[in-house]
Chain A
């Protein structure tokens, strides 16, 4: 890799269960406007500034289905700053959009890239959309959605490694507790394990509190090449490794407790970042856990611990904010992020930690952090991004 890529700034809106005060466009502008204000950046199409410091590409991340709109970002070029700009749209999770942004800079074709993800989950019914994410011939008629697919994965994980519903509940207690320190988190809750276990059963073994809530919000980041990053901020955070990967589509073709694509994505990112033992070298991880068990399973896929060991780590408090390897000190996706935006929020949170801008949720002395995004049923596609001070 001949060029280096840094994150210059990251902005989130406050995530809420139903954003009725702002339209989607206004939500985007809340994030983008703040980015422009913080960095003083302009857009290339505006002529940029004399030092050549301007945003030269925009990557937006949204999906037509959730927006109920063909070309989902079409209405929002005013808020994104798209007029006359180089612009593309990643139709997937926000971490993949960050990946694309990093690639566009590594390609030598772009220097400063604005990446934006947004979604209002409250305006539609997610399970209907998720059902359309399965092949229409064999799977869709079953009425399957991402919740029921995840439940199968959770069951397989329990069966194979003997992890327990109590351990899943520990993840919820930790993350919703961490959310108290995060002003952007939607749901901070003081919970006990029995409270999680006794919440409403949705799809065995997943209960209401095991699942991420419906959420609305937006996130924006600025990525820059080394030279531009140094001109834009005194505390750039470097992206040292990136990797993403697809798994097979039919759930029966996968051992759902394996997460092969995550392992592959992580391996690519670690290789690029020169990481050989992630369990020792990663100081903090922001993991997309749309369901409680996923934080544990993804930790194993990421090789942050051995197979089947993550349940013990959560019980021993290793992943608490004061533990050896803090996981989701932000409160994670369980505390409320729209899927699709969630992966970008993980990168944003890792950035805030490494640039000492995480406020009350700041973890001291972290040098290397990992951010993870996921999309597709039961984690079919994963994206891993390694960040360094």
Chain B
């Protein structure tokens, strides 16, 4: 029998392109400090600390060791978790598992990236299917796979390029209300449509930025959560699903829509969402969930994920954009935080989805708060279709 658990504290740094005056340890410390303040706890109340970060992006091996200087892990339990883009959410599910055992009091999860201190582009090129062919050819960047998916959305007339620009404007409006977002400038459809073309149809303003920042989350079992928090975000359930690419097909450049698994990354998002719905007894997510945070590495992905999360029918993403159904005042708001296209400190991004979903049920969203949120959901995605999903509720389930 698992313990019921809740998110009781969240701390985020500001997110920016460069942060030369602060070290990784100091940056993580800042997020931890804010999370502790938010939870009304001190580091003495924390029993275990879990860290997530992409080690080849900054060039730190076993960075959890160095971080003990600032994350409070000294003489505490913990380990480092890393699964790619979904790293932050994998840290969360590890924290949730630990909290649910009832063996710990409060547990701290940390996820961060300081991309100004390394080359994430180089690090990303090392995400290769095959040592000999891919790396010899300069490695495999995420862009081509994303472009393939966007082209597929155009081909099956799910969205138009204009609609994607409209959605990007909506995302930028949301980000402008989030003090932690990296790109907060409000965009216009013209700006997005005329921005630099990367790999058709991807434009630079469709894409996530390279951000610097950290996110920390404190989770506690029921007996602790009830004592310390007036507004805990109860974690109803959490799942992880690993989709995986098929190396021979991915390697040969065969687009995965041709296979039964669907496009790269989409399998994990869809299966994680469906598994979560089944386990939580959700029949109609669009009606039963009040707000969703999803890992939108590009604006195209946000639209694709709506279909994959079954909040609309296949090929209906464009219709949702037209209705502004996922805007702050729509019937199913998605990414009131602005999402990953506004802020992407890679290790942190997936934890931020979980954190922002929890913030919404805790009613701590400030200007980005959606009114009357009782149930929220977070779904993440990353390289090789690692996905995690969790459902949060305001009242004890």
Contacts and interface: CB of A to CB of B under 8 A. Distances in A.
Interface in A215-236: none
A245 B79 contact: no
A132 B59 contact: yes
A298 to B, nearest CB: 17
A109 interface: yes
Nearest to A86: B240
Contacts of B69: 135, 248-250
A83 B54 contact: no
Given A70-B126, A74-B384, A136 B76 contact: no
A134 to B, nearest CB: 7
A47 interface: no
Contacts of B123: 70
A260 B76 CA distance: 11
A123 to B, nearest CB: 9
Contact of A63 (B61, B73, B267, B382): B61
A238 interface: no
A89 B240 contact: no
B384 A77 contact: yes
Contacts of A91: 55, 62, 79-82
Interface in B229-268: 238-244, 247, 267
B116 interface: no
B101 to A, nearest CB: 4
Interface in A53-90: 58, 63-65, 68-71, 74-75, 77-78, 82-90
B81 A247 contact: no
A90 B80 contact: yes
A126 B240 CA distance: 32
B56 A108 contact: no
B55 A86 contact: no
Contact of B65 (A70, A103, A265, A377): A377
B82 to A, nearest CB: 4
B304 interface: no
Given A91-B55, A247-B68, A108 B240 contact: no
A245 B77 contact: yes
A246 to B, nearest CB: 5
A216 to B, nearest CB: 15
B256 to A, nearest CB: 13
Contacts of A108: 1-2, 100
Interface string B382-393: 111010000000
B77 A74 contact: no
Contacts of B131: 69
A375 B51 CA distance: 15
A134 B386 CA distance: 29
Interface stretch (A33-41, A92-100, A189-197, A307-315): A92-100
A133 interface: yes
A103 B127 contact: no
A268 B47 CA distance: 11
Contacts, number: 183
B360 interface: no
A381 B56 CA distance: 21
Interface in B1-42: 1-2, 23, 25
B244 A82 contact: yes
Contact of B82 (A2, A64, A261): A64
A63 B62 contact: yes
Interface string A127-155: 00110111111000000000000000000
B244 A249 contact: no
B60 A1 contact: no
Nearest to A135: B66
Contacts of B25: 135
B97 A64 contact: no
A104 B90 CA distance: 13
Contacts of A366: none
A107 interface: yes
Contacts of B90: 88-89
Interface of B: 1-2, 23, 25, 49, 54-57, 59-62, 64-69, 73-84, 90, 93-94, 96-103, 123-124, 126-131, 238-244, 247, 267, 271, 382-384, 386
Interface of A: 1-2, 58, 63-65, 68-71, 74-75, 77-78, 82-92, 96, 99-100, 103-104, 106-109, 129-130, 132-137, 243-250, 260-261, 264-265, 268, 272, 375-377, 380-381
13 contacts: A64-B56, A68-B126, A70-B54, A90-B81, A91-B79, A92-B62, A92-B64, A108-B100, A129-B61, A243-B77, A246-B73, A261-B75, A381-B79
